Amino acid sequence: NAGVTQTPKFRVLKTGQSMTLLCAQDMNHEYMYWYRQDPGMGLRLIHYSVGEGTTAKGEVPDGYNVSRLKKQNFLLGLESAAPSQTSVYFCASRPLAGHDTQYFGPGTRLTVL
């Protein structure tokens, strides 16, 4: 049982490049989330999903797209990376029941030059 995993762990992009971050969970959780963590800003919600095939915007969705084609995977895409998207990205998941306790992945550190 690996829990929540994220791929890749580190990535450096040039401005304008695109990439996809992959989050996978093996706990059969319904809900999945993408956050970004910046110094002094805490965690801010980018997008989330309440089930396979559904997505919704969070607090800071601009410049990102997501897809949840399979229940266990939640993809975060950057179509044209900007330096402002330099951050640490965390994925989390939680079951339908359980009072909202979220389980986090180890994070992806992204640098956009």
Partner 1 sequence: AQSVAQPEDQVNVAEGNPLTVKCTYSVSGNPYLFWYVQYPNRGLQFLLKYITGDNLVKGSYGFEAEFNKSQTSFHLKKPSALVSDSALYFCAVRDPLGGYSTLTFGKGTMLLVSP
Interacting residue ranges for partner 1, rule: CB under 8 A? 4, 31, 33, 35, 40-45, 48, 50, 58, 90, 92, 99-107
In the complex with partner 1, the residue whose CB is nearer, 17 or 37, is 37
In the complex with partner 1, the residue whose CB is nearer, 11 or 17, is 11
Of 70, 4, 62, 2, the closest CA to residue 33 belongs to 4
The least distance separating partner 1 from the CB of residue 7, rounded to whole angstroms, comes to 14
The least distance separating partner 1 from the CB of residue 110, rounded to whole angstroms, comes to 14
Q: For residue 68, what are the contacts with CB-CB under 8 A and spacing of at least 6?
A: 32, 49, 51, 52, 53, 54, 55, 74, 75
The least distance separating partner 1 from the CB of residue 43, rounded to whole angstroms, comes to 4
In the complex with partner 1, the residue whose CB is nearer, 73 or 109, is 109
In order, the DSSP letters of 28-61 are: --SEEEEEEEETTTEEEEEEEESSTT--EE-SS-
